[in-house]
């Protein structure tokens, strides 16, 4: 019998395929393949290197959070778990598949399942928050780099994240709001929202601060990867464009409506970069290359690690 979850996952695949068909119907397909064929290999290699460096930085950020709750795992092991997570992002029709596998793999090192859940949730939130901060800094440097509507949207998202972050780390305020505001209490009674608050309040502020700084470093590498891919494909976008558009796209990809973000990412890049004069063929090519580097290449590495780990465990059990 087909379950509701299976139906939902099938719908995600349908959404991705439908969006990609729609997007390519709007492109000059021959121009798109010409752009890809003529890509500069040196810049592509730099983009891939940035992605791989970024995985190690993300593992470092995760390690800071785990150390703060007395769960000590080596940087090498956490990097391996991140790569395995990318493998499952490609196998499961949900960007959360990798996060779930990270929790499972971390349980090898901690008997407290809550450690895995809270660390992954906080890790994800800090990454998105730091990315929005970089977008705001780019706007402060060059407000007119993007259309005014995009600029104000970025400011609003950052402000919302700032308020949410303050609520997440301030237990006294959180409890007071729950006691006195019925709507807030009903919202935080929702399991996912309540768990986010409980997760953050387990961590010392110093650890959250260090992890946030590392998150900024990771997101610099993420934006750099996009810039290098754009240079390889001949995009005319400026650094400020990437610094604003990549965070918006990352925020949109949190919505679990497609398979590994396919289709959603491409349409976001087409719409956003199109507003600053980047041809749609190049914008879509950038987004697909980001998917190849960020999902396919990392997933293949994760697959090798996962198979090697399984073979090693089988050899030990004999």
pLDDT at 172: 82
Tokens at residue 175, please?
């409890």
What's the number of domains the chain is made of? 1
Asked whether 106 and 115 are in contact (CB, 8 A), the reply is yes
**pLDDT tens, residue by residue, 9-42:** 788 888 889 999 999 999 999 999 999 999 999 9
Q: CA 241 to CA 254: how far, in whole Å?
A: 21
Please check the confidence at residue 118 and state whether its pLDDT lies above 60. Answer: yes
pLDDT at 318: 60
Out of 80-94, 248-262, 270-284, pick the least confident.
80-94
Q: CA 72 to CA 93: how far, in whole Å?
A: 31
Out of 50-54, 184-188, 233-237, pick the least confident.
184-188
Mean of pLDDT over the chain: 85
Host domain of residue 205 = 4-317
Tokens at residue 111, please?
């008997």
């Amino acid at each position: 019998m087909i379950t509701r979850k299976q139906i939902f996952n099938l719908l995600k695949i349908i959404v991705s395929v439908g969006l990609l068909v729609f997007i390519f119907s709007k492109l000059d397909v021959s121009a798109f393949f010409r752009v890809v064929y003529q890509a500069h290999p040196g810049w592509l290699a730099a983009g891939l290197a940035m992605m791989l460096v970024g995985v190690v930085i993300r593992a470092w950020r995760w390690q800071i959070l785990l150390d703060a709750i007395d769960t000590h795992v080596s940087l090498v092991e956490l990097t391996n778990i991140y790569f395995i997570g990318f493998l499952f992002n490609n196998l499961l029709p949900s960007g959360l598949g990798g996060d779930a596998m990270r929790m499972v793999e971390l349980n090898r090192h901690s008997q407290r399942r809550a450690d895995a859940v809270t660390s992954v949730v906080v890790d994800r939130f800090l990454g998105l928050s730091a990315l929005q901060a970089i977008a705001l800094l780019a706007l402060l440097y060059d407000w007119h780099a993007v259309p005014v509507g995009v600029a104000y949207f970025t400011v609003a998202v950052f402000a919302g994240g700032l308020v949410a972050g303050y609520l997440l780390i301030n237990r006294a305020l959180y409890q007071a709001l729950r006691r006195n505001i019925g709507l807030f209490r009903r919202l935080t009674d929702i399991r996912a929202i309540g768990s986010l608050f409980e997760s953050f309040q387990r961590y010392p502020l110093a650890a959250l601060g260090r992890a946030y700084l590392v998150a900024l470093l990771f997101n610099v590498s993420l934006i750099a990867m996009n810039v290098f891919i754009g240079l390889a494909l001949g995009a005319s976008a400026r650094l400020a464009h990437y610094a604003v558009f990549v965070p918006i796209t990352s925020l949109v990809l949190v919505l679990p409506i497609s398979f590994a973000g396919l289709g959603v990412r491409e349409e976001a890049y087409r719409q956003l970069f199109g507003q600053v004069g980047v041809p749609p063929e190049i914008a879509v090519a950038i987004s697909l290359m980001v998917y190849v580097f960020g999902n396919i290449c990392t997933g293949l590495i994760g697959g090798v690690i996962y198979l090697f780990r399984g073979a090693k465990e089988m050899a030990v059990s004999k």
